[in-house]
Structure 1
């Protein structure tokens, strides 16, 4: 971004006949620029001031311009030239900078080059003040959008003043940024060029492209010549012998509604094309009795620019193939027709020989004024120059306008990237929401279908619960998952209980062996000694181990028997389901499965398998 050093404190303007850059002392306080005292602009003292350039970051805090601050107001302010500017035998160049803060919606930002006494006393400035040239941007929504170039030209024969408008005026720049407008009138061939931001946008000729023409026609119709009373100008007349056909329907409408039409995708029915500016505020000095009811500034809804349309959509009308309209007799040649009457021509008193004048010459400019009405507030103007060299004007623009333009474009580019990131985030969020909504919809459809199939097999008392489950499938899925988790936990608990029981039995047997009295061996042979006593212990341990093996084998056999019983029960249930399905197919419909019985059977089986946990020993 540019720094404050990019802007010259006092741009070089010595080559111009007039220049006002608003650098240095306040131009309103010094009297260089004067406010009109016409009642039309009453109160503008509080709305017009010299203010620094408004750009994010304050990079041009040293650049000052003329600010017309408030919206919905008339403004009249101007400067008297030190001496009149006469372009006899010379080119004429006008240039100034404009920023309409927030973007141009409805309002003018043009200037008037005043002539004669009108430019000598700015306190009397009004809409009727005579001027030589009016030039600059003007826009009002979609009705007006042009860079005006208007001449007030005096006819050398009649001495009457008449406005001549450039008919091919270009469009303005309305993005809220800084723009420079330049007009160059050439003395050699009476042509002219219009520049926006130092680029030539349009060109024309004072002799060929002004409306009405700069030079009036050489002959005109005689205003006193009258058409004879017996002059017949109708070439065709209705056939007096024609008769309307019997099948002619005069009441059929010309247009009918296109019933096949569909609203274009992306049409914004809830949006309006023109909306109130949310930043518009009622001025503190607004008087309803004098100024009327205050209304906020209306702006173009930018959302509509990216859509095929806004507002309520209605099916379009199309031509009615059955339409014939009101019947009328066909035309035939008029035997009394004499042709089109034309008045005789006479010399035009306003005509003048272009060779005797200098078309590029305009009446000497004595003042420059901003006399406008604007709905937009924040019209900032700067660097007014009048001279004879287009190169000097464009060079000045590169010094004063170009740095601001680059800085504004950088800010705008950063804002655009931020908006793109926000739009991408919204698109991603919208896609996720749509996926969730689609999944929910499918779940709802499936749950309702299953509920309808299960309804004939569900007891009447359970019907409300079935309906609730169908309308809230997510809760049902959650409940099923919770049930599965409980079954898994019970299975784990059962396994651990068995392991604990087995460990407890083994521990009890070990303690019993340790506390048992010695077993007598060899009958009355008590004197066998240590060798006989050790042999008795070994036999006892062996018997205990064999007993434990037998218990484990019995437990394994019981578990195998239980598993076989469960498998048989499952096979029986499958056979019953197949028989029910077969009966349903014979009846031409799907047989619903009674899932409630299956759940109950599974619960009973699970309950029978769970063992009580072994008591915890206190030792």
Structure 2
């Protein structure tokens, strides 16, 4: 029994000391309980720090012959050319499909954390930068847009109106999009994206280790029928008054109110030479009537019988069935990039799949945080140099030109 337990422990990627605890107790119920609470820090991690070695771990799909190619690069803007390298798209207006496999695992009873970094080394017009988690039975060589996946997560940009973080879950072989709008980053800095899904059906989406959105799976996706429905047997009462204001029934129109809008001009007389046989019947011109007061309307008052807007009451939905397993996926085994990019240059890096939120946060600060700090320092140096360039005056003579040329070379060195 002890040997069996040790083999179980070796079958997982453990960070901890649970194996010793399991081996010391042969009671089957205790063993089962310990296994459910096993702490497994990492299922997958990829930082692309061995140049071409990634090609042995990542498989390019052959479903299409014109898939875009990846390379390892740091892009045009970086903090450190070598340390900030990642997996970069290289061809415009291309589909991309590449994936990496890891030991299958189930997230039953455990938190699932999916995390990675994205850097746009170009001005993105339209393109996805999301990742997908696939089941063990995925054939990587033919992975494509129709391949079944469990989770799709990450930034997606198309034009000025769509700049969102996609969070799509597979539930009973249907795909459900998050109902909330989460805005993604669009600048040329490296940004960290983290998805956390917990067994209590809560979730978080973090950007740069800050919570961008959080909630409950049932509330923010339409996996299940609603808990409450409108009561069809409760119509609005006939005497329900929704009018906030009404005309004052006590307000009466004055007797002298009705006056014509225009009247004959009393200051104009019929011309002495007016011939009615030739000119027709004479009538004075009309002018605005100073006594005219417009169309009378009663004053408006608050409705004493106002009862508010009618809201149809809700009742429990008899067809609603809760599902405590909304979060659960079995045999998670492949992570992939299956995307379309208009302009290439996007860099993916620092992939991590774990069941430990704190571990993911620390790893994010370790991997992404250092990169982000280097980029900010480089951008600040660039800004200083550009300001120096913009402050230069136009040359007015040979000496000025020579001086400016010399200073220009120093500025270039600063860059």
Instruction: Flag as ranges the 4+ runs of structure 1 deviating above 6 A.
Output: 218-221
Task: State the TM-score, normalized to the length of structure 1.
Answer: 0.41
**8 Å contact 2:204–2:214 — kept in the other structure?**
yes
Q: Distance in 2 between matches of 1:113 and 1:425?
A: 53
* Structure-2 change in CA distance of 1:215 and 1:363 (3 Å): farther
1:306-326 alpha-carbon deviations (Å, 9 max, x no partner):
xxxxxxxxxxxxxxxxxxxxx
Distance 1:90 1:162, change over 3 A: same
2:192 — aligned with what?
A: 180
Aligned length: 272
Q: What secondary structure sits across from 2:137 in the alignment?
A: helix
TM-score relative to the length of structure 2: 0.59
* Pair 1:130 & 2:156 matched: no
Question: Does 2:321 align with 1:353?
Answer: yes
- Normalized per residue, the structure richer in helix is 1
Q: Which residue of 1 aligns with 2:261?
A: none
Structure-2 change in CA distance of 1:353 and 1:381 (3 Å): same
Cα distance in structure 1, aligned partners of 2:393 and 2:213: 42
d(CA) in 2 for partners of 1:56 and 1:128? 34
Other-structure match for 2:47: 21
Kept in 2, the 8 Å contact 1:102–1:176? The answer is yes
Is the radius of gyration larger for structure 1 or structure 2? 1
**Equivalent position of 2:116 in the other structure:** 96
Equivalent position of 2:132 in the other structure: 112
1:196 is aligned to 2:217? no
Distance 1:365 1:57 in 2: 33
Unaligned ranges ≥5, structure 1: 1-12, 155-160, 222-346, 430-619
1-structure distance, mates of 2:175, 2:363: 30
Aligned 8 A contact 2:217 2:326 in 1: yes
The answer to whether the 8 A contact 2:131-2:335 is kept is yes
CA contact (8 A) 1:110 1:148 kept: yes
Distance in structure 1 (CA, Å) of the matches to 2:67 and 2:145: 17
Q: Which structure 2 residues correspond to residues 289-438 of structure 1 after superposition, within 5 A?
A: 351=319, 353-354=321-322, 357-420=324-387
Task: Provide the residue aligned with 1:78 in structure 2.
Answer: 99
Q: Verify the 8 A CA contact 1:114 1:131 in the aligned structure 2.
A: yes
1:61 Cα deviation from its structure 2 partner: 1.1
1:267-286 alignment, distance < 5 Å: none
Contact 1:71 1:374 in 2 (8 A): yes
Call closer, same or farther: CA 1:389–1:43 in 2, change over 3 Å: closer
Unaligned segments of structure 2, at least 5 residues: 1-14, 16-39, 231-316, 397-415
Q: Deviations over 1:265-322 (max 9, x none)?
A: xxxxxxxxxxxxxxxxxxxxxxxxxxxxxxxxxxxxxxxxxxxxxxxxxxxxxxxxxx
- Report the counterpart of residue 216 of structure 2 in structure 1: 205
Q: Say whether the 8 Å CA contact 1:34–1:123 is kept in structure 2.
A: yes
Match of 1:234 in 2: none
| Contact 2:133-2:335 within 8 A present in 1 as well | yes
Distance 1:137 1:58, change over 3 A: closer
CA distance, structure 2, for counterparts of residue 132 and residue 57 of structure 1: 33
- Maintained 8 Å contact 1:37/1:123: yes
| Aligned mates of 2:154, 2:119 — CA distance in 1 | 12
Mapped partners of 2:137, 2:87: distance in 1: 24
Q: SS in structure 1 opposite 2:364?
A: helix
Structure whose residues are more often strand by fraction: 2
